[in-house]
Amino acid sequence: MFRTALGAALFLPLAATAAEVELGPRPFYLIDQMADGPLKSKLQSCQDMAMKPSDFSIGHRGAPMMFPEHTVESNRAAARMGAGILECDVTFTKDKQLVCRHAQNDLHTTTNILASELANTCVKGFTPAKDGEKAVAECRTSEITLSEYKTLNAKMDAANAQASTVEEYLDGTAGWRTDLYATKGTVMTHAESIALFKDLGAKFTPELKSPSVEMPFDGYTQEDYAQAMIDEYKAAGVPASDVFAQSFNLDDVLYWIKAEPEFGKQAVFLDDSYNGEGFDHNDPTTFRRTMASLKEQGVNYIAPPMWMLVTMEDGEIVPSAYAKEAKSAGLKLITWTLERSGPLANGGGWYFKSITEATNNDAMYFEVLDVLAQEVGVEGVFSDWPATTTYYANCMGNQNS
């Protein structure tokens, strides 16, 4: 009844050292929301299955639906939920040390820096909301040393734009997330993330983040930065086959393909074509670059957001022209980000923008995941709560385990 478009390798178990998978109640909660039909019946049939970690299940910054992103705690939670691949977004400090942060300039929303002695290092100190203007701040890793960075405590990524005090500004977590597990958020260097992920039995997908500072930075070039990230895997003895280096900057990907060809084979180009004027994911003439040209340059993996891979046709969710063009060119697809939109009753927001008309309840998480896996044929899916993708991968591909 169900066509398995995913490769068998996606469902192979990780090393025996990986923790036993603990799904928790969420996958079952989502299945309960689904309309009766073949997909729901299939997913229900797996409720007593012993689950294994899967490379199809990628922890997006760990498990940030409920844990502070890019922390030890968040990634341990993701691994326990069966994420076979874990992510460290990589940026650098004032002393050019690599650390895990989603952006070089997000410390004001992802850590307690504004309430610490390092607040005076921020390029924009906290300014309260006043006279219709929102509260603002900006704090960068590039303004502090590694030792200073390590003193910070991570929190849920959020800010209260209406805040009149620092305390109010830091207390902005969305109602559908939680601060229950945010009392302790242990920040990591990139090297520490490698050691942790190895210990958890997971593979690696580091993303080289665009600097907020002008490059070169104190003599540190973009190529130095791209090379430094790969060098830390080589120093740790991690095989290139376990690393999926990512960047939105195509030049970074092409650098890895040329300078580090073994790592370049699995380098992932994060396609932000959606930022281009006139882009239509169903009209190849509007694409910023052709899929064939990417393949010709040695790119093997591309990763657009979920909405770019699907569209509506006669009331059904189907692969988009973008997805078809990519597959036709021989490109492998990874996508982001499931479970980042919160409750879906309102249409799902940006990540579901191409299928808003079909998105009216949380069951859509599994519905769109099924189309991405079975019809689009993605290699893996980033999720803010990997239990969902792990459950799906085991249930739909268990014959390949």
Round to whole Å and give the CA distance between 310 and 79.
28
Which ranges in the chain are annotated with CATH 3.20.20.190? Answer: 8-101+187-400
Burial of 132 (0-12, 13-18, 19+ CB in 10 A): exposed
The 10s digit of each residue's pLDDT in 362-385 is: 999 999 999 999 999 999 999 999
pLDDT at 400 > cutoff 60: no
Question: Order of strands across the sheet with 380-383?
Answer: 98-100, 89-92, 207-208, 246-247, 268-270, 301-303, 332-338, 380-383, 54-59, 83-86, 203-204
CA distance 281 to 286: 8
Average predicted confidence (pLDDT) for the chain: 94
DSSP state of 374: I
Which pTM does this prediction carry?
A: 0.94
Which DSSP string do the residues of 37-55 spell out, in sequence order? SHHHHHHHTTTTPPP--EE
Quote the CA–CA distance of 333 and 336 in Å, as a whole number. Answer: 10
Q: Characterize 104-130 residue by residue with b for buried, 16 or more Cβ atoms within 10 angstroms of its Cβ, and e for exposed.
A: bbbbbbbbbbbebebbebbeeebebbe
The model's pLDDT over 36-88, given as tens digits with 9 standing for 90+, comes to 999 999 999 999 999 999 999 999 999 999 999 999 999 999 999 999 999 99
Q: CB count, 10 Å around CB of 7?
A: 15
CA distance 37 to 22: 26
Give the CA angle between residues 248, 249, 250 to the nearest 5°.
Answer: 110
Residue 200 has a CB neighbour count (10 Å cut-off) of 22
pLDDT, tens digit (0-9, with 9 covering 90-100), for 109-146: 999 999 999 999 999 999 999 999 999 999 999 999 99
pLDDT digits (tens, 9 = 90+) for 173-189: 999 999 999 999 999 99
Query: Residue 9 above 60 pLDDT?
Result: no
In CATH, the architecture of 8-101+187-400 is: Alpha-Beta Barrel (3.20)
Over residues 182-210, the mean pLDDT reads 97
